[in-house]
Amino acid sequence: MKHIFTFFLLLLLGAPVLPARAAPPVPVPPAEQAVARETAGPWHTVSPKNDILEGAIFDGEGNLLFCDVSRRSVLRLTPDKALSTLVEVPGIGAGGLALNKDGRLFMAVLDLGRKVGGVLAWSPKTGAFETIVPPEAGYWPNDLVFAPDGGFYFSDFRGSATDPAGGVYYVSPDFTTVTPVIPRLAQANGVALSPDGKTLWATEFAANRLHRAQLEGPATVSPIGSAVPYHFTGAAPDSMRVDSEGNVYVALYGQGRVLCFDPNGIPVRQVLLPGRDEGKNLLSTSLAIDPAASELFIVTSNEAGDEPALVFKAGALAPGQAPAMQSGKK
């Protein structure tokens, strides 16, 4: 009643009544309003239509590699913005990438429609694929990162908000043994490792949580080392990366935003994508840190089919990411 009375009083006094300003479709949550902001700049248009991009990493030659899920392929974008198809993935689209020191590209592949997934390794020398984690194992791999010993971790996207059937798993260096590390997660999505290999991070897509696990061994969490340092608001933590100083970067799918944390899991900065206030570039799925510069590259797409799929660039908190962060032991 008070607002209605004020409205009519202003009319009687002849004061102009301004329309209420429309809120952006995905506002920054109140708890993160004070977190420092940077707006990313457009770097490259990958496709004029709504291709779904995922799994961004850098190779050893400064090229940005990422997945085009829509076309079931891995793309390569050179520093001078020459875009090409690196490899087409047979049968299932790749969503997560990691480079082994032997030069092979490991891919987390997943088909949600058929409810099947696995991990493949592709050799650029021979062009051959090798199955590392077969579909018959029943996992839904979403992303992966190598450990210092040559094994790797992958996130299992199974489950839902009320059925935490996924988790984070460790695969031994000989690729024969799969061990649960962070079990019972609701659609585990992003996975990353600290520079010293002793802290494992994961995002829980359906439960909006950031997990931190202090490791006593590659597949062993210390007795008091498991924690949830952050709960997200709104949609939804996707892929993540860690820089050379241990800072954590999480792409927020549906928000057109990357939230950056210090090594303790405290948010210290956020990177906003242009157009997000108009509902564009909201499907920010993944990111990569250029190991040669303090730069962050974000891949994104749009819900509208006539909007482009893009790569954006912003500054990183630390001067690049150590090569061992994405590579397994040879």
- Cα–Cα distance measured from residue 156 to residue 140, given in angstroms and rounded to the nearest whole number: 5
Smallest CA-to-CA distance from 53 within 238, 210, 270 is with 238
| Alpha-carbon distance values, 91 to 52, 69, 98, 109, 318 (Å) | 17, 12, 19, 9, 38
89: three-class secondary structure by DSSP: coil
The Cα–Cα gap between 195 and 251 comes to 19
**Contact call for residues 282 and 255 (beta carbons, < 8 A):** yes
Retrieve residue 120's tokens: 């493949």
Bridge partner list, 221: 215
Pairing of the two strands 37-39 and 267-272:
parallel
Do 105 and 146 meet the contact criterion of CB atoms below 8 Å apart?
no
Active site residues: 238
